[in-house]
Amino acid sequence: MVPESCTVGPFCTIGAEVVLGEDCLLVSHVVLDGRTRIGARNTIYAFTSIGITPQDLKYAGEPTETVLGDDNTIRECVTISRGTAKGGGITRVGSNCLIMANAHIGHDSQVGSHCILANAATLAGHVVVEDFATVGAFSPVHQFCTVGAHAYIGGGSIITQDVLPFSLTSARRENKAFGINKVGLSRRGFSAARLTTLQKAYRLLLAAKLNTTAAVERMKALEVNDAEAKADVEQLVSFIERSARGVVK
């Protein structure tokens, strides 16, 4: 279904089960396939394919889905595969995301809102990218990894473990977290109290020569008077404790 408010450029292919929201723009040469639901006011550039068959040899044509929210900008040559039955059945992208040229979102991945995937960022299957996270250019993310909220991954990083929320993580010789994403957090309105508290938590985790378990216990014991700052530390601790692959430190 394509509303009259949508603009569909030349050489676009829209499958029979695709549902588009109002005021979407398909620039040209866009392929939308499978059970795909796309929200309102999305702009999709040339040679992008959304809802295509997953790159999974076990996929046998099951009726799986792709779901996108509103107000996303999806640049040239992006590929977003639909889900698989064993992976939950849905590949999902939230709202207000910028997916830059040649990025790939693999089957069953879950991308939150206000995220940026820079040029040629690559999410393997089953990856979770939480809200406000940025994956840098030419950065592949391994299957089943989670990129925490507000994290910033520098270009060219190979991600094989979970990326801590609020962190600035990059690869020089090896992947390391270099502390909090201070610039990004400041731009999003984080108060001085929140930034200071997160810096204290990260010093315990990265610079205090404590193992992860001991650092987490020290973070839990931090005296924090600001309610938002306390919630940030609790979010960081919860992320670490539920990580199945370990975190990049």
Q: Where in the sequence numbering do the catalytic residues fall?
A: 107-108, 125
Tell me the three state secondary structure of residue 220: helix
| Residues 84 and 102: beta-carbon distance below 8 Å | no
Tell me the three state secondary structure of residue 66: strand
Tokens of 196: 């200071």
Closest by CA to 95, choosing from 128, 69, 67, is 69
| Residues 141 and 169: beta-carbon distance below 8 Å | no
- Determine the angle formed by the axes of helices 227-242 and 192-206, rounding to 10 degrees: 30
Q: DSSP string spanning 78-130? A: -EEE---GGGTSEEEE-SS-EE-TT-EE-TT-EE-SS-EE-TT-EE-TT-EE-
List phi, psi (to 5°) of 60. -125, 30
Which residues make beta-bridge pairs with 123? 105, 141
Give the C-alpha separation, 86 to 143, whole Å: 14
Element (H, E) at 14: strand 13-14
